[in-house]
Amino acid sequence: MLKPYLSLPLLRFILLLLLTGFLTVSCNNSNSRSASVKGDTLQGKITISGAFALYPLVVKWAEVYHELHPGVTINVSAGGAGKGMADALSHMVDLGMYSKSVSPEEQAKGAWWIAMAKDAVLPTINSQNPVLSELRKKGLTRQKFYDIFITGKIKTWGEAVGNGCAVTLQSFTRSDACGAAEMWAKYLKDNKQEDLQGLGVNGDPGVADAVRKNPEGIGFNNLGFVYQMDTRKIYQGLEVVPIDLNDNGIIDKEESFYNTMDQVMEAINKGVYPSPPARDLYFVSGGKPVNPLVIAFLRWTLTEGQQYVHEAGYVEIPPDKIKSELSKFD
Amino acid sequence: MYLLNRKQRHGVNYTWMIISLLLVAFLPFFLFSGLYLKSFLLIHDYSLTELIFSNEWRPSSGKFGFYPFIVGSVWVTLLAMIISAPICLLTAIYVTQYTRKSFLRIMHPAIDILAGIPSVVYGLWGILVIVPFISRYLGPWMGVKTMGYSILAASFVLSIMIIPFILNILIEIFRAIPGELKEAALSLGATPWQTIKQVLLRKALPGIIAAFGFGLARAFGETMAVLMVVGNVVKLPKSVFDPGYTLPALIANNYGEMLSIPKYDSALMFAALLLLIVSLFFNLVMHFFIVRYNKY
């Protein structure tokens, strides 16, 4: 007959096994944050999580920084800006990557942040757009974009450029909550992502693909998904809608800087291209960082680290802004 | 030879069995209470009817209406069932009643392969094939202008995803029906179709309903494939060619980005709670039918 045989030592043994398992896991966790500055060589671990939009740049930084200071390892994981913020606020990680403006709720919870690079959202259309030449000449004003993306008043391309073209206009937006859509909506008279009209497509590549497939489509994309990183030219099948910044109904010479990635980057850096839709990208942490290792890394990203920003497809922070960001450590 | 004696080994295994059982038994409870606690912030501030029946989804201005998501989910799921149910039923009848046993041996791996394909692959296939098909052919043919990203596209993809799932259960149910019942009907002069209709289907009815129910619950919770083709527009759909938004898609689209904003986070947890309750409900109903089926 089968009879349960529960010996006490056995149970203890099992419990011990479970316990050691838990301890090992939690030890790992606390290890990641124990850091020390020994002499002048930095040693320890930094953990970072957060926005997908910043992941390539921060990974690049982590690699370079590890080469400079072999004692320092930086673990970067991407899981969305909100996850980065939540992890940073709960001190699960040292730093969060954050791609939109820090909300009042998050500030109330003690969020501390510094800008470390810039990115920009550009309005995109298909290169077979029915009124492409008109758009190139006249561009679109903020009001026009507002009527396309927020009110939905503009329904054809003719209405958008002011001719008789009856082709319907199809707007695309991001289905996933993201900094790009947040910034684009903010540019359109301080709205939110949930106010944007249009078919929701998943991810930056998704929107770019939808626009590429639909000649009547209009969407918005981050810099890195409009221009090819190696040739610095616009991706095949896409076009950027020039923004008529001074509302004079024509694209002036200083408003036309969309030919190559470097031209746009310069316009963003100089502030010619407005912000929003250009945006700062942040490192956030729960309260002002106290770990000297983290502070050293952050300072490095704002100084020497800036030279890697450009090649990774982002825009450097202007010098005066760097000064004000560095002063946040004092 | 062994570290422990025979009795001790039994004891170890027994302990593990108890631990596993407790884990499984309490899992739904943990899930439910966790979600409830996390969504409490929202439930506390709004009435349930407001949350479920309000049309307005503007989290930044504090308006949380889940109605468009619920309606979107229900439309997509029901439409997927309408498409897949007859296909599954007819296939299952044909395979079990009209073909040789060896045919089933070939069919089974084929069905299992279909069931094992990751949902993101179905989603991609939907974008590549179904969406253009609807926008270029089906829409214009019906006289509708559509981008293809629609309730209909989602239900097409979904129905193909749940067909292998339902089919497997149906085949098992039909095979479990005693052959004598069929022989008796045939010997009384009934045609094969009469036998199927009057004997087979009648006997298998609770099982069939249960199979469809499991398919329904699965379809209701499917996330990735639906998210990729449904259009994700927060608006009550007027026709099947309109884009929609489903509850699982809402969670998947926003969770990573929004969990640092308490109200938003709570709203997403509430959506998860709704999903859990609906699938629990489906499962309970199906369980009831299966219990009845086993009594025959």
Tens digit of each residue's pLDDT (9 = 90 or more) over A10-44: 556 656 666 555 555 444 444 444 444 444 577 88
Distances in Å between the Cα of B200 and the Cα atoms of B35, B86, B178 are 43, 16, 10
The pLDDT score that the predictor gives to residue A37 is 46
Q: What phi and psi values does residue A236 have, to the nearest 5 degrees?
A: -55, 130
Alpha-carbon gap: B274 to the closest alpha carbon of chain A (Å): 20
- Which of A7, A201, A202, A207 to probe by mutation at the B interface, max B CB count within 10 Å? A202
Ordered alpha helix ranges (H), A46-131: 55-68, 81-89, 104-108
Nearest CB among A5, A177, A198 relative to B8 is that of A5
**pLDDT over 50 at A299, yes or no:** yes
Pick the residue from chain B with its C-alpha nearest to A201: B231
Q: Which stretches of chain B drop beneath a pLDDT of 50?
A: none
**pLDDT over 90 at A259, yes or no:** no
Mean pLDDT across A111-119:
89
Alpha-carbon gap: B149 to the closest alpha carbon of chain A (Å): 8
Q: Among residues A198, A165, A290, A135, which one has the least CA distance to residue B233?
A: A198
Give the confidence band of A1 by pLDDT, cuts at 50, 70, 90.
very low
The pLDDT score that the predictor gives to residue B84 is 95
**Whether the Cβ atoms of residue B157 and residue B226 lie closer than 8 Å to each other:** yes
The pLDDT score that the predictor gives to residue A17 is 61
The pLDDT score that the predictor gives to residue B74 is 92
Mean pLDDT across A134-148:
89
- Residue numbers in B near A2 (CB within 8 A): 10
Q: Do A2 and B233 touch (CB under 8 A)?
A: no
**The dihedral sign for the CA sequence A323, A178, A310, A137:** negative
Q: Residue window 68-127, chain A: list those with CB within 8 Å of chain B.
A: 79-83, 85-86, 89, 103, 105-106
Q: Collect all residues with Cβ–Cβ distance below 8 Å to B240 and sequence separation of at least 6.
A: B75, B79, B150, B151, B152, B155
Where b means 16+ CB within 10 Å and e means fewer, A215-245 reads bbbbbbbbbbbbbeeeeeebbeebbbbbbbb
Question: CB contact, 8 Å: A214 with chain B?
Answer: yes
Distances in Å between the Cα of B195 and the Cα atoms of A325, B65, B97, B170, B202 are 81, 50, 10, 17, 10
Q: Do B262 and A105 touch (CB under 8 A)?
A: yes
- Which of A175, A191, A209, A285 to probe by mutation at the B interface, max B CB count within 10 Å? A175
Q: What phi and psi values does residue A59 have, to the nearest 5 degrees?
A: -65, -40
Distances in Å between the Cα of A245 and the Cα atoms of A139, A276, A315, A316 are 9, 13, 20, 22
Q: Please tell me whether residue A52 adopts helix, strand or coil conformation.
A: helix
Only one residue has tokens 């300072």, namely: A299
Question: CB contact, 8 Å: B64 with chain A?
Answer: no
- Which of A199, A207, A282 to probe by mutation at the B interface, max B CB count within 10 Å? A199
Q: Do B257 and A199 touch (CB under 8 A)?
A: no
**Whether the Cβ atoms of residue A302 and residue A318 lie closer than 8 Å to each other:** no
Q: Do A7 and B257 touch (CB under 8 A)?
A: no
Question: CB contact, 8 Å: B228 with chain A?
Answer: yes
The pLDDT score that the predictor gives to residue A159 is 87
**pLDDT over 90 at A205, yes or no:** no
Q: Do A192 and B58 touch (CB under 8 A)?
A: yes
Tokens of A102: 């820090």
- Residue numbers in A near B145 (CB within 8 A): 168
Average pLDDT, chain A: 83
Q: Whole-prediction pTM value? A: 0.78
Tokens of A126: 């298909």
Mean pLDDT across A196-219:
88
What's the CA gap between A256 and A262, in Å, rounded?
13
- What percent of chain A has a predicted confidence (pLDDT) above 70? 88
What's the CA gap between B91 and B88, in Å, rounded?
5
Q: Do A82 and B261 touch (CB under 8 A)?
A: yes
Q: How far is CA B151 from the centre of its chain?
A: 16
Q: Do B256 and A82 touch (CB under 8 A)?
A: yes
Q: Among the ranges A177-181, A239-243, A270-274, which has the highest mean pLDDT value?
A: A239-243
Q: Among residues A222, A230, A210, A213, which one has the least CA distance to residue A314?
A: A222
Q: Do A82 and B234 touch (CB under 8 A)?
A: no
Question: CB contact, 8 Å: A190 with chain B?
Answer: no
Alpha-carbon gap: B209 to the closest alpha carbon of chain A (Å): 35
Distances in Å between the Cα of A311 and the Cα atoms of A119, A276, A315, B82, B194 are 13, 22, 9, 53, 74
Alpha-carbon gap: B20 to the closest alpha carbon of chain A (Å): 13
Nearest CB among A4, A168, A177 relative to B258 is that of A177
Helices and strands, number each (H, E), in chain A? 13, 10
- Which of A5, A101, A173 to probe by mutation at the B interface, max B CB count within 10 Å? A5
The pLDDT score that the predictor gives to residue A11 is 58
- Residue numbers in B near A178 (CB within 8 A): 257
Q: Collect all residues with Cβ–Cβ distance below 8 Å to B254 and sequence separation of at least 6.
A: A176, A177, B264, B268
- Which of A176, A178, A285 to probe by mutation at the B interface, max B CB count within 10 Å? A176
**Whether the Cβ atoms of residue A161 and residue A138 lie closer than 8 Å to each other:** yes
Question: CB contact, 8 Å: B57 with chain A?
Answer: yes
Pick the residue from chain B with its C-alpha nearest to A202: B228
